[in-house]
A = this chain, B = another copy of it.
Amino acid sequence: MSTAPAFKRLPRAVREQQMLDAAVKVFSRRGFHAASMDEIAEDAGISKPMVYAYLGTKEEVFVACLHREGTRMMQAIAGAAAPDLPADERLWRGLRAFFGFVGAYRDGWAVLYRQARGEQPFAGELATMRARLVEVVAGMLDHALRAEGREVAGTDLEVVAYALVGATESLADWLADHPEADPEKTATRMMNVAWLGAGQLLQGVTWRPATD
């Protein structure tokens, strides 16, 4: 019989990406635990055992999502912020790339930051990624300050970098919830806060002398 096969057979590489797309979507909507493998399979237009065959258990599927979206984001940023540029230009381009990523892959962002953070097994992975970002930002600040002949304690640098990364993530959340907002403009605003605030502070200006 030639019952036109409702859906085509596809090569593994393609199906895997479809599954990941579906998984990211479902995880971002429901959260890790509330998401069901059945829903992911259905959303990918496939049946559950295929997901197990290609991607493994639920945890493994989530890790695969985390990995793909994380890599995308890191590459977007790293590709934009070439290390031979002056620090402020690197920061600016990095921010633009970052907000561009969030604007383009909202679901990915939600999975990465809103979900992974709460679930114990994955929080570590996420923390590592963020730590890399903090390190890079701290490096930029340090570099910029050395160029002006100033020097600052490592811990202070790290904490300030942490605050900047936090502020950026927060604006990313805001952006994800405001589809009408412009990523470019958001990046500009963040750049202003970051560069002026951090710069001033690390140059020795303080609101109230830190009485350690």
Distance in angstroms between the alpha carbons of A174 and B197 in the assembled complex: 19
A2 adjacent to chain B (CB < 8 Å): no
Chain B contacts of A115 at CB under 8 A?
Answer: 118
> A124 to chain B: closest CB distance in Å?
11
Q: Cβ of B212 and Cβ of A205 under 8 Å apart? A: no
Question: Binary interface profile of A, 141-159, with partner B (CB < 8 Å = 1, else 0)?
Answer: 0000000000000001001
> A118 to chain B: closest CB distance in Å?
4
A64 adjacent to chain B (CB < 8 Å): no
Chain B contacts of A156 at CB under 8 A?
Answer: 189
Q: Cβ of A170 and Cβ of B169 under 8 Å apart? A: yes
A62 adjacent to chain B (CB < 8 Å): no
A19 adjacent to chain B (CB < 8 Å): no
Interface of A, helix, strand, loop or mixed by DSSP = helix
Chain A residues with a Cβ under 8 A of chain B? 29-34, 88, 92, 114-115, 117-120, 123, 156, 159-160, 162-171, 173-174, 185-186, 188-198, 200-201, 205-208, 210, 212
Distance in angstroms between the alpha carbons of A118 and B171 in the assembled complex: 17
Chain B contacts of A212 at CB under 8 A?
Answer: 185
Distance in angstroms between the alpha carbons of A190 and B160 in the assembled complex: 8
Chain B contacts of A162 at CB under 8 A?
Answer: 170-171, 174
Q: Cβ of A119 and Cβ of B31 under 8 Å apart? A: yes
Chain B contacts of A189 at CB under 8 A?
Answer: 156, 159-160, 163, 210
Supposing A165-B170, A191-B208, A196-B200 touch, asked if A34 and B33 sit within 8 A by C-beta, the answer is yes
Chain B contacts of A117 at CB under 8 A?
Answer: 114, 117-118
> A158 to chain B: closest CB distance in Å?
9
Q: Which of B30, B33, B174 contacts A31 (CB 8 A)?
A: B33
Chain B contacts of A165 at CB under 8 A?
Answer: 170
Q: Which of B31, B166, B201 contacts A192 (CB 8 A)?
A: B201
